[in-house]
Every structure is written in structure tokens, then in C-alpha cells.
Amino acid sequence: MKRATLEELANLVDGTVLGDAAVSVSRVAPIDVAQDGDITFVTNPKYIKALETTAASAVIVSPALADRCSKPGLVCKNPYLAFAKILTFLSVEPPEVKGVMAGSHVSTTADIGADVTIYPGCYVGDNVKVGRGTTLYAGVVLYAEVEVGEECLLHAGTVVREKCRIANRVILQPKAVIGSDGFGFAPDGSRYFKIPQVGVVVLEDDVEIGASSTIDRAALGVTRIRRGTKIDNLVQIGHNVELGEDCILVAQTGIAGSTVIGNHCTFGGQSATNGHIRIGDNLTVGSRGGVTSSIDGNQVVSGVPAMPHRDWLKASMTFPKLPEMRRELSRLKNKIEKLESELKEKE
Amino acid sequence: MKRATLEELANLVDGTVLGDAAVSVSRVAPIDVAQDGDITFVTNPKYIKALETTAASAVIVSPALADRCSKPGLVCKNPYLAFAKILTFLSVEPPEVKGVMAGSHVSTTADIGADVTIYPGCYVGDNVKVGRGTTLYAGVVLYAEVEVGEECLLHAGTVVREKCRIANRVILQPKAVIGSDGFGFAPDGSRYFKIPQVGVVVLEDDVEIGASSTIDRAALGVTRIRRGTKIDNLVQIGHNVELGEDCILVAQTGIAGSTVIGNHCTFGGQSATNGHIRIGDNLTVGSRGGVTSSIDGNQVVSGVPAMPHRDWLKASMTFPKLPEMRRELSRLKNKIEKLESELKEKE
Amino acid sequence: MKRATLEELANLVDGTVLGDAAVSVSRVAPIDVAQDGDITFVTNPKYIKALETTAASAVIVSPALADRCSKPGLVCKNPYLAFAKILTFLSVEPPEVKGVMAGSHVSTTADIGADVTIYPGCYVGDNVKVGRGTTLYAGVVLYAEVEVGEECLLHAGTVVREKCRIANRVILQPKAVIGSDGFGFAPDGSRYFKIPQVGVVVLEDDVEIGASSTIDRAALGVTRIRRGTKIDNLVQIGHNVELGEDCILVAQTGIAGSTVIGNHCTFGGQSATNGHIRIGDNLTVGSRGGVTSSIDGNQVVSGVPAMPHRDWLKASMTFPKLPEMRRELSRLKNKIEKLESELKEKE
């Protein structure tokens, strides 16, 4: 277990020490369960009161809360980021380097870098390259001619099919599939003829792919996930998709084939896009939203077809009133007919 | 193939024999395909007529139908449960105990109980515990310090990541992933900094997890699935979720992070919840329903945001009439304007 | 790299040569990136102009465009199908036959056909049959008594559970699960008793199953996917489903248990059906559509409950106007009340 003083941690997270800089901590914990020896953090104003009662030894707070904190601690512009960095520093060990372990199957033509770990049950095909410091947990399969960069973590049971390329510091959660065939068939009468999927997938630096997510290889060319994009579990990325940098795709989202997405877009859970469309930078799609046609960025949309999020919220709140609206329409119609006939009688 | 008399089966299911207690059966079959030697069951009133024509040797019926049944059989309060128990008795053999098979990779520091079977291609890490009578099918991966209880079935290719704990009689269908990283990132300018997920997953007794479902480990603390809860295929459970006892989650459902769900809740297929909400006991969410905020139990809801199921049904039936309603609104507006001007003329 | 003349390719695709039949090509490429030595194709009228500027050596066109093409090429009724066939001819090699490789685990009672390849890390159980020319990539698990036909491709990490049967030329993408337990439980008070799933899955000839899709075995009897049906990634097929011939199921679709679907149906992404319903031939369900009750074929439906696609489109376009419609209703009601009171005054 590592231990660090507030002074050391202030340097790590570019923060200011509050109180005794020699106080030391060894764990990060939520404010309501933190114990002596722990550092905790407050980002949500509703937890300010807990600052007074927490048993934590130290607290990470924003400048706005610094006055209200009688504990030792750290003042940081972004307490949540500071929490993440301190948690990483105290809790995360680089995976132990174990080399090519017995029970793995590595082709004699594979090029394995220094400090690589390959667990039992892995299969590394012909002409594969694995970069320095990368770890393949048990049961990872790399088909022929795959390239994996440096300091990647490929968790148990991930599969990367032939010729796909993974850059540096990429994380694949268990059972992620990279390079499965795109879903392409040409109708031949009533039957379907398989269109060979001879393209590849490229995952750029710092991409993370969630458990059991599937990234299809291109029919021709490349399915590309750009630097820093994070994909959650059970997400489907169709063939020839291009995803921009620093995007966030929450679980069970589906991006249909050949769609091109800008940088810094966010997709809520179970959202989706049609294929062959273009999406601008900084688009946020609400959970279950469906983007059916090309759309500019710098906005928040929801619903199907996607509309401004506020419009969707209002329409969704009105939706349960539909039956009453229909009855009201019918009542008004009757009243109008009565008025019409009364007016006619007067003539 | 086992064979049992009605007398034996009546004891097994706490039922009453109808007719000859010495009649014996060896298989369970649906009423329309049952043959001589089979026992069948009737729970759906529309199959009562089939009681007269079925070739089955015996029938399981409810007390209400006992008079209408001329076949030998069993009278049970819950024929469907009796069917399940008899099918289990006749058809399900405990998996053969084979020990640690050649081609599996078991750490010398692992603690493997009696009567455990570990198939080829499994990887069992350091300090793992596996309880008595548990079976790991081919290609199961248990990371370091995992604990698995007694009489569990872990089907082929399941992965349990470091330190997660599985209790007794738990079933994991193929490719289930337990303990993948939760999806947590702290924004650092336009980039994302990974929040280490240092918590665990706990699956309590008698939990079942479906094929390719993913249960994320907690950021800090525990993602917990309580006793008896059954999760179907391709379901996503976010980090720090707490699921109550005896819940049912149908396929492709997604529960977002930190949500707390009571006992005996049911989620229909492709349903979802937001994160950080609380759900009471005995809530039923219809297929594709989306629970967006905390909600009391003991009700049936559907739609997004979730509303009482009946309201959703009525609103959904009205939805296709929206364009006609809009035209009607326009027509009524015109009529009213006409009436208004006619009335003005009269003045 | 293969190379073929237009004359050879015309025979392959049943087309007519345009220009010099001796022109030869070795690659297929999209019209905007094609180089010398490539053949490209035009199906989308908006790319007609590109015919004049493309660097491709040859072009596949429809009869309607033959006059507008000054390049050598092929005239085909179905250029997209011709493209698929030529791409297959030039780019797809049958997988290399490698036999039973070291590091795989094949039961001595398994029946392995000629020209079969079994990669390291595979597990082939007792009494399994694998037909001529089939390839099992690394980490495939076949439980006892599974039957796999001829010329199948089972990609890395696929699992086929006990007794399931796969016919000829079937393709399983990585991590597909065939024969997981159906999701069936009988309530026993507030707890659930597992109903054993003792049926099987049958995949007929030329079926393809996507990455991480899950096909549940029947409770009793058979879950059947008929000849030529193609299933995309992350799709759930419930127990006892019968899917017709030549169906297309796009990613993340869910078909609930015991539903029977006709031939040549298409399900858009994230669509779903209820269980225990019947669906006619040639039904198309739009993305995210939900079929809740039995429905005739030969139509296109969308929405939940599914309605004719045009009706859904119109209703969906009207949905954002709901709040304004409600305000309009309120305005009209006020006007009518005013008219009513004015008319009363006149009496």
C-alpha cells in the first residue's frame, strides 16, 4: 500500500495544501465511508455538510468550498480530476511483467517487444507485432498480421482479427471483438451473397473498448476510432465508421456503417445512428436517442428522429396526455357543431 | 434415462396422484408432441381440449382441471413449477466430476475444493478460491484473488476479473463478464482521464448471469447482485449498482451506474434505468421502458420517462393518430374563426 | 495477389465486356480511391460523374449507365452483386488447412473430417462431429455431442453448447454463443426455480451469426435458424424461436422466446419482437421497431407497437409538435367557451 503526504499529492494534482501539509493518506474513499488514513472529495454541494462529520484524514475541495473546510486537504480547480489522479497514484500498479508464459501459443514469426506479458491460453498469429510493455491476459487471440502498440492492456478473451492495428495505451475490456466482419450482403434473387470484408479496424492511441463490444472491420478500407475515444460495454460499431477524438459512447449504443462522427461527441446509453451520415463535433445524444440523418455539432439532441433535447423533454412530458387530448378534441368538435347549428337556427 | 412413477413424482412436487399411481414416465414433453412414456402439463386453458387427445402417459394439472382429466396424472397447485421440478429430476444430471484436466492453467497458490472440475483452456490465477463441486467449462478465466463458491457452473469463456466474489450455486452462461472496469472518466480539458475502478463485483447465492452479459466492477466499493436474481443475455450492469433479491432482467437491458434496485423487480427486454436513482421493491418495467428518476415499487410502468403501464398503453395506441389530430386541430381552429366572424357580423 | 481479365470476370458474374476484354485488374476499390489496376463499380447515380475522373482501370456498371462509360468495364444487371463476386474471387482465399494443431484439446471420441483446421486453445468435447473443410479458430469450444457441418468458419472464442447442430457453410463471428440456456424460471413463492433448458439450437446451411450474438437453446425441442439467414452482432434470439430462410437481423435486435418468423424478413437495428407471436413472410421492421403481436408479412412497419412505416414516419414528425398542440387545444377551448357565452347573451 502506497502512502503520500498532502504536500506530495498537491504536486501531483497541481493543487494547494489546506492545513497540515505533512498529513499522509493511503486510500481514497467516498465521504460517507472514509476512515482515518483516507482522503475523500466533495464535488456535489449536497455533501458539503458531510465535510464536518467525515472520518477522513483529508479532503479534496474546490476553491469555492475551501473556506468551509476545517479538515486538512487539497484545494483543486477540478476536484474530480484530482480524485482520479490520486486514486491512480495510490491504487494502480502497472501489471507485473511475466514474459511469454507457458501455455500460450506465439507464432515464431511474431515480433514481441520488451517487457511484454502473454498469459496462458493466448494465441498470437503469424507476423503479429506486440509493442513494449503490453499485456495480453489469458485467452487473448491475435490473428495473423495484427499490430498492437506499447503499454496496451488486452483483457481476457479479447479477439483482434487479421491485419487490424491498435496503437499505444489502448485498453480492451474482456471479450471485446475488434475486426469482426462488417454486415454486408448483396441480394441475389431472394438469397444473400456475402460481401467479403477485406478492410481493417484501426484503434488510435488511448482508446478504450468495453466488455463484449464489437468493432466491425471495413468492407474496403478502414473502420477508425480516433485518439482518446472511450467506448462502454456491448456497443456495436459498424463497418467503415469513423469516430472522432475524445468521444464517449455509453453502453449498448449502436453506430451503423459508414457513419462519420466528429470530435468530442457523447452518446448516451442505448442510443444509435443511421448509417452513411455525418455528425459534427461536440454533439451530445441523449440516452436512447436516434440520429437518423446528418446533423451539425455543438448541440444536445434526444428522441427519434433526434430533436433538440429540450423539445424532446417537453414532448415526452406531453406524451402521456395524448389520450386526454384526443378526448378533448372530440369534445371541442361536438361543441363547435352545436354552436354552428345554434347559429344557423338564429339566421 | 431416469424413469419415475406418479407416486414418486407426487412426493417430489408435493402433489396428489390422479388415477394409477404405478404409471411411470421418463420424459417431459409439450402436450402436442408428447408420446407414450411422457408426462405433459396444462396451464393454459386453451390446451384443455388437448387433454383428451394427447398421447402422453400422464398429465400435470391444476386442481381446477382435475375433474376434466381422464388420464393418469398429478394434481398440483402450481403445475408449471411441478413441470420444472419433474423435468429437472428426469433430465438434469450434475456435471461429471473430472478434476483439474490437462491443458488448464491453475496457479499453485489457488485453493481448489473437492469435486471441482476445471476443463482445458481455463486459467485460474494466484490466490483464487474455488469451492466444492464447482465446474469451470473450457476457457474460463479467473483473475487473481477471485473467490467462487460451491456448486457453481461457469460456462465456457466466462471471465471473472480480480478480487470479485461469487457465492454458491451461481450459474454464468457462456462469455459472461464479471468485473470489467466501470465506465468512469474525469474530463481534463477536452480529454478524459481514466478513473481507476478498484472496487469489485459480488454475486450472491443462486444468481444467474446470461450469455455475453457484462457486470462492471465498482469504482470504489461493490457492485452487488443479491440472492436469487436472474439476468438474461446481453445485459449491462453499471458500476456500483445494487440489485435486490429475486429480480428478473430480460435480455439487452441496461442498468446505469450507482442505481439501487429493490427486491423482486422485473425488467422487460431492452429496458433501462438512469444512473444514481433508487427503485422500490416489486417494480415491473415493461419492455423498452426507461426509468429516468427514483420511483416507488409495487407498480407496473412502461415508456420513457416511465409512466403507469396502462397510461403508456393508451398513449401508445393514440400515437399513430397524431397527424390526424393535428389536422383536426387545424380544422377546428378554422371553424372557430368562422364562427367568430359570423357572430361579429350579427352584432 | 490474383489478377483477372475483364473477359474472365464477365464469365464469373454473367456480364458483358465493355471495351478491351484483355484489360486486367487485381483489386476492387471504391470509385474515389481506385488506382490503376483496380476495378470499381457505380450503383449510386450521384457517382456517375466520378466515372469520368476515376483512376480505376475498369468499371462495373448497370445497363442504364453503359452508354455513359468511356472506360473499359463490365455491364451487369446487378453491379453490386457483381462487385461482391469479383471481390470474393480476387481477395478471398480459403483458410489454410492446418489440421489439429498443438495446444488444442480434441476428445478421442470426436469425429473430425478431412481438411479440418483446429487452432490452439480449442476444446472439442466427446462425440462431437466436425465436417470436411471446417475451420475452428483459436479458443473455440464445442461441448459434447455437437455437430458442425462442412466448410464452416467458427471464429475465435465462439462457443457451441451440448448437442447443438450446425449445418454447412455456416459462419460464426468471434464470441458468438450458440445454445446458452433459455431464460425460463417458474415462480415458487417469491423465488424462481430454474426450468432446465434441455432442447437444442439448429443452424441450417449458410447461416451467419454476428460477434457476441447469443442464440438460446430451446427449453424442450429446437431453436431453429433456417437456411441463409444472416444475423449481425449483439443480437439475442430467445429459446424456441423459429427464424425463416433468408432473413436479415441487424445489430442489437432481440427476438423473444417461442416467436415464429417467416422467410425473407428484415429487422432493423435495435428492433425487437414479443415472445409467442407469429410473423409472416417478407416483413420489414424499421430500426428500433417493436412487434408486439402477430402480424402479416409483405409490409414495412416501424414504432411500438409496430404500425405501417409511413404512419410511423408521419406520427414521429408530429411528435415534437405535441406541446404546441396542447397549448392550441387550450386556446381553442377558451375561444369556444367565449363563443358559447356570447351566444347565450344573444338569446
Write out pLDDT tens, residues B76-87: 999 999 999 999
The residue of chain A with its CA nearest to that of B195 is A84
Q: Give me the residue from B175, B191, B234 closest to A228, CB to CB.
A: B191
**B203 φ, ψ (degrees, to nearest 5):** -105, 120
d(CA B217, CA B162): 10
Nearest to A305 among C103, C173, C316 (CB): C316
**Contact flag B196-A81 (C-beta cutoff 8 Å):** no
Q: Which residues pair with A177 in a beta bridge?
A: A159, A214
Confidence (pLDDT) at C144: 98
Residue that is written with C-alpha cell 473477359 in the block: C7
Look up cell 457453410; give the residue.
Answer: C169
Nearest by CB to residue A236, choosing from C33, C171, C233, is C233
Predicted confidence (pLDDT) at residue A48 exceeds the cutoff of 70: yes
Other beta carbons within 10 Å of A37? 17
CA distance B67 to A296: 69
- Identify the active-site residue in C105, C155, C239, C264: C239
Q: Given B105, B155, B239, B264, which residue is catalytic?
A: B239
pLDDT tens readout for residues C8-25: 999 999 999 999 999 999
Taking an 8 Å cut-off on Cβ atoms, the answer to whether A315 and C316 are in contact is: no
Is A195 in contact with C156 (Cβ distance < 8 A)?
no
Question: What letter represents residue B186's amino acid?
Answer: A
Are residues B65 and B44 in contact, defined by beta-carbon separation less than 8 angstroms? no
> What pLDDT digit, counting tens, does each position of B220-240 carry?
999 999 999 999 999 999 999
Chains with 3+ CB–CB pairs under 8 A to B are: A, C
CB A53 within 8 A of CB A35: no
How far off is chain C from B189, nearest CA to CA, in Å?
A: 33
Average pLDDT, chain A: 96
Neighboring chain A residues of C252 at a CB cutoff of 8 Å: 236, 252, 254, 272
CA–CA separation, A121 and B106 (whole Å): 12
Neighbours of chain C (3+ CB pairs under 8 A): A, B
Predicted confidence at residue B10, as pLDDT, reads: 97
Q: Which pLDDT value is given to residue B347?
A: 67
What does pLDDT average to over chain C?
Answer: 96
CB A304 within 8 A of CB A285: no
Listed in order, strand segments (DSSP E) in C11-71 are 16-18, 24-25, 27-28, 38-41, 58-61
* Lowest mean pLDDT across A38-42, A258-262, B68-72, C73-77: B68-72
C-alpha cell at A93: 500498479
Contact B106, B112 (CB under 8 A): yes
Pull the grid cell for residue C30.
Answer: 471504391
> How near does any CA of chain B get to the CA of A133, in Å?
19
CA of B304: which chain A residue's CA is closest? A316
Q: Is it the case that residue A95 has pLDDT exceeding 80?
A: yes
Residue of A nearest to B291 (CA): A287
Domain boundaries, chain A: 4-91, 158-305
In tens, the pLDDT along A18-32 reads: 999 999 999 999 888
Q: How far apart are CA C336 and CA B144, in angstroms?
A: 75
What is the distance in angstroms between the Cα of B143 and the nearest Cα belonging to chain A?
A: 9
pLDDT-above-90 percentage for chain C: 89
The pLDDT tens digits for A242-251 are 999 999 999 9
Q: Which one of C146, C220, C252, C342 would you mutate to disrupt binding with B, by most B Cβ within 10 Å of its Cβ?
A: C220
The set of chains that have 3 or more CB pairs under 8 A with A is B, C
For residue B248, what is the enclosing H or E element? strand B248-249
pLDDT of C347 reads 66
Which residues of chain A make contact with B184, given a CB cutoff of 8 A?
Answer: 84
Beta-carbon separation of B195 and A84 below 8 A: yes
Band of residue A347 on the pLDDT scale cut at 50, 70, 90: low
Q: Which of B121, B186, B221 comes nearest A80 by C-beta? A: B186
Cell reading at A192? 444473400
Which residue of B164, B175, B192, B195 is the best one to mutate when testing the A interface, meaning the one whose CB has the most A CBs within 10 A?
Answer: B192
Can you state the angle between helices B322-346 and A322-346, rounded to 10 degrees?
30
Q: Which of B140, B146, B181 to mutate to test the interface with A (most CBs of A within 10 A)?
A: B181
Q: Residue A327: which residues within 8 A CB-CB, separation 6 or more? A: none
- A319 CB neighbours in chain C (<8 A) are 319, 322
CB contact under 8 A, C81 and A186: yes
Please report, for residues A10, A19, A115, A322, the alpha-carbon distance to residue A336 in angstroms, rounded to integers and kept in the order given: 74, 75, 83, 21
Q: Which CATH number fits domain C158-305: 1.20.1260.10, 3.40.50.10860, 2.160.10.10, 3.40.50.300?
A: 2.160.10.10
Instruction: Name chain A contacts of B108, Cβ cutoff 8 Å.
Output: none
Per-residue confidence (pLDDT) for residue C265, from 0 to 100: 98
Cα angle value B167/B173/B177 (rounded, 5°): 75
DSSP helix/strand/coil, C186? strand
Kindly list the distances between the CA atom of residue A176 and the CA atoms of A232, A247, B210, C64, C252, in Å, as whole numbers in the listed order: 10, 18, 17, 45, 15
pLDDT over 70, % of chain B: 100
Report the C-alpha gap between A110 and A142 in whole angstroms.
Answer: 10
The distance from CA B17 to its chain's CA centroid, rounded to whole angstroms, is 33
Count of pairs with CB atoms under 8 A, one residue in A, one in B? 192
What φ, ψ does residue C152 adopt, rounded to 5°?
Answer: -85, 155
Using CB atoms, which residue from A120, A139, A230 is nearest to B192? A230
Q: Shortest CA distance to B280 belongs to which of B237, B311, B247, B304?
A: B247
Smallest Cβ distance to B196: which of A87, A246, A288?
Answer: A87
Q: Which of A42-51, A67-76, A180-189, B194-203 has the lowest mean pLDDT?
A: A42-51
The reply to whether C158-305 shares the fold of C4-91 is no
Q: What percent of chain A has pLDDT over 90?
A: 89
Is the Cβ pair A29, B141 closer than 8 Å?
A: no
With beta carbons under 8 A apart, name residues in chain B contacting A156.
123, 141, 143, 159, 161
Is residue A176 a contact partner of residue A210, using CB atoms and an 8 Å limit?
yes
Q: Which residues from chain A sit within 8 angstroms of residue C232, using beta carbons?
A: 183, 236
pLDDT band at B69 (very low <50, low <70, confident <90, very high): confident
pLDDT in tens, B267-292: 999 999 999 999 999 999 999 999 99
Q: Does the pLDDT at position C108 exceed 90? A: yes
Q: What is the DSSP letter of B274?
A: -
Rounded distance between C-alpha atoms, residue C37 and residue C345, angstroms? 89
Distance CA B340, CA C160 (A): 74
Most confidently modeled of A45-59, B47-61, C296-310?
C296-310
Whether residues A121 and C119 touch (CB distance < 8 A) is answered with no
The mean predicted confidence, pLDDT, of chain B is: 96
Residue A212 and residue B213: Cα distance in Å, rounded? 8
Q: How far is residue C176's CA from residue C203's CA, in Å, rounded to a whole number?
A: 13
- What residues of chain A lie within 8 A of the CB of C263, using their CB? 190
**Residue for grid cell 387545444:** C329
HEC readout, chain A: CCCEEHHHHHHHHCCEEECCCCCEECEECCCCCCCCCEEEECCCHHHCCHHHHCCCCEEEECHHHHHHCCCCEEECCCHHHHHHHHHHHHHCCCCCCCCECCCCEECCCCEECCCCEECCCCEECCCCEECCCCEECCCCEECCCCEECCCCEECCCCEECCCCEECCCCEECCCCEEEECCCCEEEECCEEEECCCCCEEEECCCCEECCCCEEECCCCCEEEECCCCEECCCCEECCCCEECCCCEECCCCEECCCCEECCCCEECCCCEECCCCEECCCEEECCCCEECCCECCCEEEECCCCEEHHHHHHHHHHHHHHHHHHHHHHHHHHHHHHHHHHHHHHC
Taking 70 as the threshold, does the pLDDT of residue A321 lie above it? yes
Nearest-Cα distance to chain A for C190, in Å, is 30
Put simply, the answer to whether B190 touches A264 (Cβ < 8 Å) is yes
What is the pairing mode between strands B191-194 and B185-188?
antiparallel
**Binary contact (C156, A175; C-beta < 8 A):** no
Residue listed under C-alpha cell 428518476:
B293
- Dihedrals phi, psi of C88, to nearest 5 degrees: -60, -45
C-alpha cell at A334: 361536438
Q: Which residues of B119-134 are buried (b: 16+ CB within 10 A; e: fewer)?
A: bbbbbbbeebbbbebb
CB-CB contact of A160 with A166 (8 Å): yes
- A155, A239, A276, A309: the active-site residue: A239
Amino acid at A219: A
pLDDT (average), residues B313-342 = 95
User: Taking CB atoms and an 8 Å cutoff, what residues of chain C touch B233?
Assistant: 177, 180, 183, 214, 216, 236
Beta-bridged to residue A295, according to DSSP, are A279
B189 exposed, middle or buried (CB, 10 Å; 0-12, 13-18, 19+)?
exposed
Interface test with C, best of B76, B88, B212 (most C CBs within 10 A): B212
Of B120, B234, B246, the CB nearest to C123: B120
Nearest to B323 among C193, C214, C318 (CB): C318
pLDDT for the residue numbered B271: 98
Cα–Cα distance measured from residue C106 to residue C44, given in angstroms and rounded to the nearest whole number: 50
In 3D, which of A196, A121, A209 has the Cα closest to residue A166?
A209
Q: In chain A, what residues touch B317 (CB-CB under 8 Å)?
A: 323
Q: How confident is the model at residue A274 (pLDDT cuts 50, 70, 90)?
A: very high
Concerning whether C239 is annotated as a catalytic residue, the answer is: yes
Query: Is it the case that residue B346 has pLDDT exceeding 80?
Result: no
Residues of B with Cβ-Cβ distance to C332 under 8 angstroms: 329, 332-333, 336
In angstroms, what separates the C-alpha of C213 from chain B's closest C-alpha? 8
A-interface mutation test, from B164, B178, B183, B253, most A Cβ less than 10 A away: B183
What number does CATH give the domain B4-91?
3.40.1390.10
Which three cell numbers, joined as nine digits, stand for A68?
A: 468551509
SS3 at position B194: strand
Q: Are the beta carbons of C87 and A157 separated by less than 8 Å?
A: no
Q: Is the pLDDT of residue C238 over 90?
A: yes
CA C82 to chain centre: 20
Residue B147 has pLDDT above 90, yes or no: yes
Mean pLDDT value of segment A337-344? 90
pLDDT number for residue C59: 95
Which residue carries 408432441 as its cell?
B33
Residue indicated by cell numbers 393454459: B44
Give the nearest partner residue to A177 out of C88, C102, C212, using CB atoms.
C212
DSSP-derived letter for residue C219 is S
Using an 8 Å CB-CB cutoff, list chain A residues near B313: none
